[in-house]
Amino acid sequence: MRTKTVGGKKRCLTLSTTSPFSSITPDSDDEDPNPHLRKDIIWNRWVIFSQDRTKKPCDFKGKSTFNTNPSRNKPCIFCIGYEDECTPEIFRVPFDELNWKIRVVEHPYPALSRYVPELHNVPPEDTVLDGFGIHDVVIESPVHSDQLLELSPREIGEVFVAFINRIHELVPLGSIKYIQVFKNHGASAGASMSHSHSQILALPIIPTNVSARLSNMKDFFYQTGKCCICEIQHEDLLIDSSTYFFSLVPFAASYPFEIWIIPRNHSPHFHELDAEMAFDLGGLMRQTLRKISFQLNNPPFNFMIHTSPLHGDGTELAYSHWFIQIVPQLVPTTGVELGTGCHVNPVLPEDAAKVLREVIVPVFAHDRRTIGFSPPSKIVDYSEAFTTKEVFPTREYLLNWARAIGRENGFTVIIQRSDNGGTGKKKIGRKTTVILGCERSGKYRQYKDALARKTGTKKCGCPFRLRGRPVRNGDGWKVNVVCGFHNHEVIETAIGSTYAGRLSGEEKSLVDDLTRSMVKPKDILQTLKERNEENLTSIKQIYNVRQQLKRSRIEVGTLSIEN
């Protein structure tokens, strides 16, 4: 340690004397550690670590990107069934299948034009180039409401495989020098579409940041004979690991809770991954994103794949090592960063790594794959079954018709939203409408104070939608299909369905009377079915209703005694 006089006072600057990646652990007795600087040798910049005295590391939260407004989850051009409205498709996974899982399409608003003639040899003195390049979008799921962290490890791995396959298609283009794969999650992170997607930008130049990164890696290699990325493994910075990868908070992290995912073995090019490694990467990425979501309140984030240029001379293979950088958007960029290039990080990397390492990700209630459910074998379109020109005399006729068609096809139709347009003094001019959906639409909302669900939920974000509206003259109702697709397997019978088997108030009174008369549950169920041939109640629901009635009687008796 050395002491300098700054502004008339003595300040201590703690500098690492062993390795530029060694961790600095503040004295546990020091509740107010002094700010210090660390040199990030990969980006060749200093980072100021000035801890926020008003917050603990675990108190940092982002502005959640969970969409709690159901009306904003309507299908978009990236959704299945809307392929004709989207930009031209490059390829899909599975290839040439109607029920696709991933699509790669041209970006609707590309940063560069793919139609400008290629320029293979650009004079170094040129400062203006034609805006040639390739800008693609990778649609990660056919379902609008799915986020990347909700996919299975294999499905996320397939997204990485799609990146790799697209890069291999672009490699032969001699004018393309560098390919940047990135994802913007959340509007404040730059995402213009809420449907989960990533982007691929193929550039005719090697960007300045990339050149600087490679130059710094080269300098470290010539000084030490080692790859600087291979040297950054440190137990205080590690978060998780898998067979082929590990995640950590970098020693000189520029942003709070910044995370890198790094290949264990030296690898200069991302697109050299094979399928097995991609699926392994998918599992670690899923775990990392879930930890960020649970600990930091599902904040906006960006991830970037930092790889090597396509057409190097081969000398960079020894020191270039690709990695993924994930940056949660927790603090704004200020004039300090813009003016000096020195980032100010209020969370020490060791503290951030410890918090993320100790996060126990609960079972997400909407995650069917972790609790024994298997994903659907295909996505089925029921548009034809609900397409009709019939005018229904009343709203109730329309509802009964839709529910009957749903039962015939193995799912339950429910009312998602109903709007009568306002009445009397509160009439505000909205259109009278009713939105119908599948009982498995939407998602279970995990409240902060609630315990993690040990059981599953039927909610899986099913995109199926019907819209019912009165005809123009007000005499009857009509229906149109908004989205006819279901993203789950339908059931063979509706018996036992939570919605289809619900008991009416009259039926609950009958169950109560028969229970008081000591009638067995199976005989109660038989009585209900004799009274209504279309009754879909199961014996389990009879037991549940009996238990609810029993609790109600106990609560009423307790109140009577107290009074």
For residues 410-433, one letter each, b for 16 or more C-beta atoms within 10 angstroms of the residue's C-beta and e for the rest, the string is: bbbbbebeeeeeeeeeeeeeeeee
Q: How far apart are CA 488 and CA 504, in angstroms?
A: 28
* Pairing relationship of beta strands 343-345 and 45-49 according to DSSP bridges: parallel
Residue 62, classed as helix, strand or coil, is coil
Distance, CA of 192 to CA of 175 (rounded, Å): 28
Identify the DSSP state of 9.
Answer: E
CA distance 279 to 157: 4
User: Is 486 designated active site?
Assistant: no
Nearest to 389 by CA among 471, 484, 483, 473: 471
8 A C-beta contact, residue 379 and residue 373: no
Report the candidate in 7, 11, 8 with the shortest Cα–Cα distance to residue 50. Answer: 11
Catalytic residue among 135, 197, 269, 271: 197
- Distance between CA 176 and CA 10 in Å, rounded? 53
Bridge partner list, 38: 47
| CA neighbor of 306 nearest in space, from 256, 255, 344, 268 | 268
Rounded distance, CA 303 to CA 258, Å?
10
Distances (CA, A) of 241 to 231, 264, 283: 16, 9, 10
Strand partners, 344: 48
From residue 98, how far is each of 82, 102, 441 by CA, in Å? 11, 11, 22
Q: Could you tell me the strand order of the sheet in which 343-345 lies?
A: 36-40, 45-49, 343-345
Q: How many residues would you count in the chain?
A: 563
Question: Cis link prior to 94 (omega < 30° from 0)?
Answer: yes
Buried b (16+ CB within 10 A) or exposed e, 373-409: eebeeebbbbeeebeeeeebeebeebbebbbebbbeb
Separation CA 488–CA 458 (nearest Å):
10
Catalytic residues: 197
